[in-house]
Structure 1
C-alpha cells in the first residue's frame, strides 16, 4: 500500500492508492478506494446534471450501506448540504424533514421507498464521467435533531467555499488529539445508523484517514465480535447499551472471540455506567475513548482511557478549541463540584437551526451554547454528567438524577435494562419509578433490588415503585427513550 500519511483526505488517498480497501459492506462485498471514488465522482456529476448548485440540499433515506457512503462523499465535494434521514420514521415524519430541508434530490433504497425519491445511486451515476468534477468545494452534513421537545430541526453551518481538502489537516489533527486516530492501514467498524451524527462523522473520519470501513448488518453482540475478529478491527464507534448487551453474553462466548486488534473504541450518545465501562476495559483492555457533545456542539469534551481510569465517571475535559462553564439558574458560574447547566463555547463557529431563528437564539447566550444537560466539573476540570434537564426529577424540593439510579440498578446481575422516570405525586411533586427489564434466569424481587441499592444510593433516591417490563423502548442507536417510557407508564 502507498504511504498515505501526508495525503489530505479520502479523494487524494483514492487517487494515490486506488486498490486500497475502502468498504466491506454488510453482505461482504469489498469496494476499493478507487472504485468508491469513481462512483462518488459519477454521483457528484449526476447531482450537478440535475441542476444542483452550491448550498442546495440533498437527502438520503438509506440504511448503512455503500450507497449511504457514496452520498456522503459525493455531496461533500460539490458544495451541497446532505441530510441523512432516519429510515425508521413514519412516512409523515420523513415527509416533514424532506419539506423542511428543501431537498432537491432524495435518494432511498428498495426496502424503504419514499415518494418521488431515486432508488439508490445508480440513476445518478449512470452515464456520468468517473473523473473529478470541476470547481470542487466542501459540502456539509446537516443532521436533524431528535425532536424530543418539538419538531426536529436541521443543524446548519455555513459552507466554507474552499476545496474539500482544505479542512482535512485540521480534522485529522483534532480526531488524533481526541481519539488517537491516525492515518494508516486501520479498520473501522460501523455499528450504528449513519443518520445519527457521531456514526456518520466517524465514517467520514475513517475514509479521510485511509481506514477501511466494515459495515455491520445490525447490532448483535456475537455478530459484532465475529466481525472484530474476522477483519482485525482496530477502531469502532459504539454506545453504552452495546457494551451492556455484550457483557450479557456467557463468559465462554465472550472468551471465544479474539478482540486483541482493538485500539480505539469510541463511545458517546448516553452516560455509561462506571461498572459497565470498567468491565469492558477489563475484557478489551484500556481502549475506551469517550466524548460528550451534541449535534450542535460536536465533540465538546473528551477523555482517553487512562485519564478515565484515574477519574471514573468523567466524560472528560474540554476538547481542543472549546471552553466550558457550569451555570446556575441565573446564568452565574458555580464553584467546582456544584451541579449546574453545562454551557459550551466552540471554536468551530456558530450554527443555526434551519428556518428557526427563535430556537437558535433561545439555545445561545452570546457565543455560548447550552445543550440542556446538568453536570459539574471537578477541581481538575473534568466534567461529570448528572442528567438531562428535561429528565431531572424534583421530589420534595430535592434534585434526583435518573441516570444515577439507572447506573446503580444496572450493576445488579439480574438487570438487563432499566428506565427511571418521575411521575406526578400530590405530596412530593414527583416520585421516582423504576421500570426494570430482567435478564435471563430468575427474576429478582423488588426487595432484592432495593437491598442492592442500599449501599450505593442515599435512601431518598430509591424508587418508590419498581415494576418489571419485558422490553424497554430505545432508539436505533441505543438511547433510552424516556419520553416513550413515561408516556406508556402514565397511560397505563
Structure 2
C-alpha cells in the first residue's frame, strides 16, 4: 500500500524501457502478450531484477498476473494508503526523467481533490458517467482521469488511437458524457466535412476537459459554438506543482486564458527573477504549490526552482487584472530576431486557421543578420499543393493577421508532423534539423 507506479509507452524500444525500469527502481513489471517483444529480452534471471508478470496467457519467463492476482485475499489491508504515479517526461534533452512527488498518505478511499474538482464538480462525472478516453494511458491526464472515472463508479471507453470521425461515432454509440482531449483533436474534428460532423449526435456530452497545449482562440470558440459551453481548460504538468482552471463562461469573458490558479499562486518573473506587473510577459512560476523532484536528477530539479522555492515548467505568459493566466509559449521555443522576442504560438494559431493547413509548427532558424528568423513547417491537407504557390499564399495570409516580424520568411512542407499519441507536437525534431546544418564545421558539411 502506498506504492509508486510507472506507466510506460508501448511505442518505446527495449533499451528505452530497460532504462526506465532500472531508473525508477521497479520491483514488478506487468505487461501483455502484445508488448512481449519489447519486454522479453529484459528477463535475464539476474539477482535483484524485477518480477515480470504477463496478463492473459503468459509466455515463457513471465509469471501469470491473472492467476496470482486471483489468489490474493479480498479483505482490505490495514493501511490502505493511496499510492501515486511516477511518470517519465518526454525529455527535451537527454534521457527522460521520472517525476516523483512525496506520498501524503491519504486513504485510498479519498479521491484526489484536484481530479475531483475537474471531473466531478466541474464536469459532473459520477457513477452513471460514460467517459471516452482518446489518448494513451501512459500519459498523466488520461491515466488519472480514467482512474477517477473508475473511483467514481463510471464507465471508461478507451480508444486505441485517436481518429476524428471515430471519436464522434463512439460519442453517439455509447452516449458519452465526458471526455478529455487536446487542441489538435479539436482541430481535426473541426476540419471534418460539415456533413460528417452533422451525422453524429454529441448532445450527451456534459463536459470536455482539455489541456496539454495552448488552444487557438478561434478553435476553442468554434468548439463552444458546436458543443455548447461544456469545455473546461486547465494548465498543469505531470509535476503537479500548480494548476489553473477555466470553464467556458470564464473563457468567453477572458478569451484565450488557461484559467485562474486553483493549486499554488501564480508569479510572473523576468529573467532576473523579479516579479512583473499585470499584463507583462515573463516566465510562469507557482508559489506555495506541491513539491516535486525529477528522480535521480538533482540538477534538473534545482533548475525548476528559484531561490524562493517557487517552481516553473518553463512556460511563458502573463496575468490579467482578474488573475487569469495567458500562455504565450514555452521559453525554449521563443525566437529572438533582431533583438525582438517572438512567441511561435501566436503565428501557429493564425496558420492553423487556413483551410489548406492540417498541422503546423513554427520555430526559429539561424539568420546571419537577425540572429534568428521565423520558419513554418506545414502539413497540408493535400500534399500535392505543397510548393511555392502555397508557401506564398500562407505567408500573405499570415501578414494579414500579424505584424511582419511574427510571420514566417519561408514555409516548408511535410506529409506529417511529429506528434506524440496524445497530440503534443515534438517541435525539437523539426527544429534540430535546421540548427544541425549550421553547427557542422566545414569539414563535416
What is the TM-score of this pair, normalised by structure 1?
0.80
CA contact (8 A) 2:124 2:206 kept: no
Equivalent positions of 1:399-414 (< 5 A) are 399-414=341-356
Equivalent positions of 1:304-319 (< 5 A) are 304-319=247-262
What residue in structure 2 maps to residue 118 of structure 1?
A: 53
**Is 2:430 the partner of 1:485?**
yes
Change (3 A) 1:441 1:103: closer
1:196: Cα distance to partner? 0.7
Equivalent positions of 1:265-414 (< 5 A) are 265-297=208-240, 300-319=243-262, 321-347=263-289, 349-365=290-306, 366-414=308-356
What residue in structure 2 maps to residue 163 of structure 1?
A: 107
| Alpha-carbon separation, structure 2, partners of 1:171 and 1:88 | 29
1:424 to 366, 384, 388: 366
CA contact (8 A) 2:182 2:211 kept: yes
SS in 2 for 1:112: helix
What is the TM-score of this pair, normalised by structure 2?
0.88
| Alpha-carbon separation, structure 1, partners of 2:126 and 2:359 | 37
CA contact (8 A) 2:126 2:154 kept: yes
| Alpha-carbon separation, structure 1, partners of 2:104 and 2:3 | 11
| Alpha-carbon separation, structure 2, partners of 1:461 and 1:377 | 22
1:346: Cα distance to partner? 4.2
| Alpha-carbon separation, structure 2, partners of 1:379 and 1:466 | 37
1:303: Cα distance to partner? 0.5
Stretches of structure 2 that go unaligned for 5 or more consecutive residues are 44-51, 56-64, 438-445
SS in 2 for 1:219: coil
1:396: Cα distance to partner? 0.5
| Alpha-carbon separation, structure 2, partners of 1:343 and 1:471 | 34
1:489: Cα distance to partner? 4.2
Number of equivalenced pairs: 412
| Alpha-carbon separation, structure 2, partners of 1:314 and 1:406 | 17
1:299: Cα distance to partner? 5.5
Q: Which moved more, 1:338-347 or 1:472-481?
A: 338-347
| Alpha-carbon separation, structure 2, partners of 1:173 and 1:476 | 25
SS in 1 for 2:355: coil
| Alpha-carbon separation, structure 2, partners of 1:296 and 1:464 | 37
**Is 2:392 the partner of 1:450?**
no
| Alpha-carbon separation, structure 2, partners of 1:249 and 1:177 | 31
| Alpha-carbon separation, structure 1, partners of 2:409 and 2:115 | 49
2:11 to 88, 91, 98: 88
| Alpha-carbon separation, structure 2, partners of 1:282 and 1:235 | 17
| Alpha-carbon separation, structure 2, partners of 1:274 and 1:458 | 18
Change (3 A) 1:403 1:93: same
**Is 2:164 the partner of 1:241?**
no
| Alpha-carbon separation, structure 2, partners of 1:162 and 1:430 | 50
Give deviations 1:433-492, integer Å, cap 9, x for gaps. 101111148736222112211231111111111112111111111111111111344557
1:256 to 199, 216, 227: 199
| Alpha-carbon separation, structure 2, partners of 1:486 and 1:172 | 35
1:405: Cα distance to partner? 0.6
SS in 2 for 1:371: strand
Equivalent positions of 1:40-79 (< 5 A) are 78-79=1-2
Change (3 A) 1:123 1:152: farther
Change (3 A) 1:219 1:298: farther
Stretches of structure 1 that go unaligned for 5 or more consecutive residues are 1-77
1:178: Cα distance to partner? 7.0
| Alpha-carbon separation, structure 2, partners of 1:329 and 1:367 | 16
Change (3 A) 1:140 1:272: same
Change (3 A) 1:285 1:298: farther
What residue in structure 2 maps to residue 71 of structure 1?
A: none
CA contact (8 A) 2:80 2:107 kept: yes
What RMSD in Å do the two structures reach over aligned CA positions? 1.9
**Is 2:368 the partner of 1:436?**
no
